[in-house]
Amino acid sequence: MKKISKMAILVWAIVFGLTALVGCTSKTPEPSKANSSGQTAQGEIEWPQKTIQVTVPYNAGGDTDIYARIAAKYLEKELGQTIVIINTAGASGMTAARKIMGDKPDGYNVLFKHTAGLITEATGLADFSYTEDFAIGGTIVEDSTYTVVVRKDSGFKTLQDMIDYAKANPGKLTYSTVHGSVTHYVSVQLEEAAGIDIKELDVGSSNSDRIAAFLGKQVDVLTVNYSTIKDYIESGDFIVMGILSEERVPTLPNIPTFIEQGYDVTAIKTYSYSFPKGTDPAVIEKFDAALAKISQNAEFQKEIESFFGVAKYMNPTETYNSEKEMIQQIKTVMEGAL
């Protein structure tokens, strides 16, 4: 057999080593592939990758719409994508809720709701559950400024004046309500606490419709967020009967609560997000982290407070527990009212 020289062996080893090295280094790794929820093979969430639509179940210009738009501006910075607000009014918020329930659970369609939704669930008006049929995204705002007002030509100067009239004239005091909403919840409490019988009239679901009807003397009493009627109050056109918070609102220190006037009537609205059921938990977790961060942003807090609300963050679990508790409370109050 012919002997191979040491030099030949050395050359062969060098050539083989270089070939192997080139083969390894020249191989291009495949890019990570995300599934339909944006989850990569390595477990890193790649959501969001496109515009997120947040559906508000009321018309533009109201408190829910305002808070949703403020929050969206700050969430865009945290999530790195555009957030578009879609106003879909109807059926005390249920039209929008059903729309989100039917959307693909990919994290790009979200419902921004408040306590009124829970009332439709508690009273059986909704054929679905806001707590069980959605993936809860968390809470971001609380508003304790639901305010009861009358017109300056009503003759009422105080809450007691209004109640005395209602007692002397059962069924004559007219009240603007939206069936199955927070206004309805308030009227049931008021009748029970004051021992009066008021006439509820549904004059429109939007704040603008209800205010127009109130100004047009179609109803005697209006309940709405303070920021919505601030100018009318300051001009003296609307007379405040009281605010429906549990204690005086720091930014409205001169307005007495119903409780301190001897009537246990409250209506505190919390504003939260819900995703379609089945949304990837990693999406919810990332969204929740963004909510937690903006809630601590001083500029965000300042904007919310300019409408007399407060930035109030609760994670999805806290939101779920809070909403379940609220539903039970509403059921107790509204039993037999529908």
CATH of the domain at 206: 3.40.190.10
Residue 289, domain member (yes or no): yes
Residue 2, domain member (yes or no): no
* More confident of the two residues 13 and 151: 151
pLDDT band at 205 (very low <50, low <70, confident <90, very high): confident
pLDDT band at 19 (very low <50, low <70, confident <90, very high): very low
* 201 and 119 assigned to the same domain: no
Strand 134-143 with 269-276, pairing: antiparallel
* 109 and 186 assigned to the same domain: no
* More confident of the two residues 10 and 158: 158
Residue 35 has pLDDT above 50, yes or no: no
* 294 and 274 assigned to the same domain: yes
Q: How far apart are the first and last CA of the chain?
A: 105
Domain termination site, one of 212, 231, 261: 261
* 197 and 217 assigned to the same domain: yes
* 139 and 167 assigned to the same domain: no
pLDDT band at 189 (very low <50, low <70, confident <90, very high): very high
- What would the mean pLDDT of 311-336 be, rounded to a whole number? 95
Residue 23 has pLDDT above 60, yes or no: no
The DSSP secondary structure of 143-201, one letter per residue, reads E--EEEEEEGGG---SHHHHHHHHHHSTTTSEEE--TTSHHHHHHHHHHHHHT---EEE
* 184 and 229 assigned to the same domain: yes
Residue 22, domain member (yes or no): no
* More confident of the two residues 148 and 23: 148
Per the structure, the complete domain to which residue 189 belongs is given by 146-261
* 244 and 150 assigned to the same domain: yes
Residue 30, domain member (yes or no): no
pLDDT tens column, 50-89: 999 999 999 999 999 999 999 999 999 999 999 999 999 9
* More confident of the two residues 31 and 228: 228
Residue 192, domain member (yes or no): yes
Residue 28, domain member (yes or no): no
* More confident of the two residues 37 and 211: 211
pLDDT band at 316 (very low <50, low <70, confident <90, very high): very high
Domain termination site, one of 261, 284, 310: 261
For the whole prediction, is pTM greater than 0.75? yes
Q: Check residue 338 and give its pLDDT.
A: 60
327: CATH: 3.40.190.150
List the structure tokens of 129: 């559950």
297 in helix, strand or coil?
coil
Distant-in-sequence, close-in-space partners of 263: CB < 8 Å, separation ≥ 6? 159, 163, 190, 193, 194, 242
Domain termination site, one of 215, 231, 261: 261
**Which among 147, 132, 146, 86 is positioned nearest to 112, based on CA atoms?**
86
Distant-in-sequence, close-in-space partners of 17: CB < 8 Å, separation ≥ 6? none
Residue 180, domain member (yes or no): yes
* 318 and 285 assigned to the same domain: yes
Cα separation of 298 and 83, whole Å? 21
Q: How many of the other CB atoms lie within 10 Å of CB of 37?
A: 17
* 182 and 205 assigned to the same domain: yes
* 138 and 151 assigned to the same domain: no
* Residue 254 Cα to chain centre, angstroms: 28
Counting the structural domains of the chain, the total is 2
* 159 and 257 assigned to the same domain: yes
Residue 1, domain member (yes or no): no
Q: How many of the other CB atoms lie within 10 Å of CB of 172?
A: 12
Q: What share of the chain is helix, strand, coil (3-state, %, to 5)?
A: 45, 20, 35
* 174 and 243 assigned to the same domain: yes
Q: Check residue 153 and give its pLDDT.
A: 97
